[in-house]
Every structure is written in C-alpha cells, then in structure tokens.
A and B are shown apart, each in its own frame.
Chain A
Amino acid sequence: MTARAPTVLNELELDALTELVNIGVSRAAASLREMVGQQQVILSVPNVVVVSRPEAVALLARQGSARLVAVHQVFEGDITGRALLIFPETNSLELVRAVTGGDLSLEDIIELEQEALAETGNIILNGCLATIANMLKRSLKMSLPEILRGVGPEFFQLKPPPEAGDVVLFLYINFAVRGRDVRGYIAMLMDMPSLEALKILLDEFIERETGQPSTHSDEIA
C-alpha cells in the first residue's frame, strides 16, 4: 500500500479506505470467478493514492501505452465519482470468451463483446461499490455501464471536468484470471468535494469498527 495524502485523508482514513476497497474487490473477484467458469481470480494488494489529475494520468501511462478497454460507471450519493474496470484491448475478446463459456464462434463473440463487457463490468463494479456503500452505511446510485476505448490517460479526462480541486483519489487493484490471458485493473476516481464527504464517512466507519474516534487513534499523515 502506498499512501500520499496532502492534508485530505489521514493515515488511518486511507488505511480504512484501502481495507474497504480490498473487501469490495475481493468479493467482486469471487463473483468474477463464477462468471469465468470457476477459474481462480488473482488479486493484487490495492493501492490507494490521492494525487493531482496529471499525476493520475502519469500513473496510468506507466501501466503501458497499449490500447485499453474500460467499463465505466458513475456513482452518485454522498460521494460521487467514477469506477472503471480497465484491461488491454487485446484481452477483451478473451474475457468475453471466458464469460460466455467458450463454445461460441469468433463472430458471435465479437457480436456479444459490448454486452458481455458491460455486464462483466457491471457485476464487478457494482459488487465492489455496493460492499463499500454498505460498510459506510450509505447508498450509492450507479449509472449504466458504458464501454470506453482508448489509451489510459483519456479515461481520466472524461467530461464533465471536476467541479473543484484538481485532486483525485486514485485507487487501483490488479486482477488476473488463472489459466486465461485475462488481466486488468479496477480504478476509482473522486474529486475534492467528494473526498471531504468521504473523510466524514470514513471517520464514522472507523469509529464503528474500532470503538474510538479516528482523530484520537492515529497521527495525521
């Protein structure tokens, strides 16, 4: 876990957020396993950073310059942001093949691609966000999944631009399906106003979990 939070979230809040994401994604991985014919889904340890938008773009660029496919959903509620399931475009058909069971012709797979990607993304992203929302005791409204294609940095410059503060919470976790050439990562983006709201929700969560107020239990990062 790397954590760098300029005055926004303290160390324990970042820790709590990472743990929430870890639980959300771990559960979503179990759903993905069911979808890809009982093949194990391997996850990395989540990485949570609060960075400027250009830094986030640079982070994504470091993952390689290959063309990517993303399933993108907007979530709204006390906190608002975007969740993306991203993988290399070359993996996309293999993921669809895994999800549809492998008996289909290439033509059928290509035809089903959009729909299968959207549904896979929907299950993973919704599963992850629902777990997080439940643990924060808030409800989040999710938009319908949208498929994006392009290179990584484009995904971080989606419209509309952030209302205030060019700081984003960028968290990502890598996943790979054992025995298949399917790998990718999940990213979530939030801007400043949502981060302030998130901080309050995290403090409430920490207090419930540990029985002590978050400000008394940890130094400021």
Chain B
Amino acid sequence: MAFKVLIVDDSKLARMSVAKVLDKLYPDWTRIEATNAEEAIALVKQSAIDMALLDFNMPGRDGLTLGAEVRKLDPNIALAVVSANAQQEIVERAGEIGATFLAKPLTEASLGAFMAEAEDRLKAASR
C-alpha cells in the first residue's frame, strides 16, 4: 500500500534529508512538500494525505499550531512534530494533538519507526 506523505519545513535541507530517508525506506510512496503552515493547509485540503511531518520552529504558524489545524481537517492523518527543541511543553503539546514528537536531526531509525507505526495504524483503520 503506497501512502502520501507531506513534509513541512521551512528549511530545504531538512526537507531533502527526510526525502532521502523516505526514498530509501519507501520508494513507492508519494511525497509532497510545503515550506510553511499555509501551504501545508492548502495541500491537506486538496489531496488525501496519509502522514505529515511538521517542523516545529517555522516562520508564521509553528508546527504545533499547524498540527492542531490539520487534525481538525482530517483526524486520521498520522502526525509527527519534528524539533531539536525537546522541551517538555512542546513534547506534551505534540501528545495533546495526537502527534509523535521526533527529535531533530532526524535519523533513519526514528523516522523509520514512526513511518512503520503509522503504516500499521493506517492499514488497520482501512480494513
């Protein structure tokens, strides 16, 4: 089953490194990218996204605010908030919107684990 993954990060480098891992682990999945919350919301509205990786520290709305908005639009998207800023408040708020907190820099292991779990959940939900 091929999924569609949305990568939201204002850093092109960060998006490229996620793309590298995704291409390696799940070459048949589709990925789309946004550089800020506004673009991300537009993409969520126009196409069926399965998973979204949201950078926390972005100009404009941050990844947690965006995550809460995405949740309202589509409660089934598997969400991860990505940041090196592992302060309790941020990790907790990620939990509150049903998002996984992933530490930056992302590793193949941490991203892979999130993807695998999200894949299982989405497959179970579609059964």
Cβ contacts A26-44/B at 8 Å (1 or 0 each): 1101100100001011010
Chain A residue with the shortest CB-CB distance to B85: A26
Any B CB within 8 A of the CB of A101:
no
Interface size for A (C-beta < 8 A) is: 29
Min distance, Cβ B64 to any Cβ of chain A, angstroms: 12
Which residues from A are CB-within-8-Å of B121? none
Cβ–Cβ contact B20 & A218, under 8 A? no
Contact residues, A205-221 vs B (CB, 8 A): 206, 209-212, 217-218
Chain B residue with the shortest CB-CB distance to A19: B11
User: Which of A26, A45, A206, A209 is B58 in contact with, Cβ under 8 Å?
Assistant: A45
Cβ–Cβ contact B57 & A45, under 8 A? yes
Question: Complex Cα distance A213/B16, Å?
Answer: 12
Supposing A18-B11, A26-B57 touch, asked if A40 and B87 sit within 8 A by C-beta, the answer is yes
Interface size for B (C-beta < 8 A) is: 21
Total cross-chain contacts (CB, 8 A): 66
Contact residues, A1-42 vs B (CB, 8 A): 1, 11-12, 15-16, 18-19, 22-24, 26-27, 29-30, 33, 38, 40-41
Cβ–Cβ contact B89 & A40, under 8 A? yes
Cβ–Cβ contact B13 & A30, under 8 A? no
Min distance, Cβ A104 to any Cβ of chain B, angstroms: 25
Min distance, Cβ A169 to any Cβ of chain B, angstroms: 17
Cβ–Cβ contact A1 & B12, under 8 A? no
Question: Complex Cα distance A136/B86, Å?
Answer: 21
Which residues on A are within 8 Å of B, measured CB to CB? 1, 11-12, 15-16, 18-19, 22-24, 26-27, 29-30, 33, 38, 40-41, 43, 45, 131, 135, 206, 209-212, 217-218
CB-defined A-B contacts under 8 Å, sample of 8: A15-B13, A16-B11, A23-B104, A30-B86, A40-B89, A41-B87, A45-B57, A210-B20
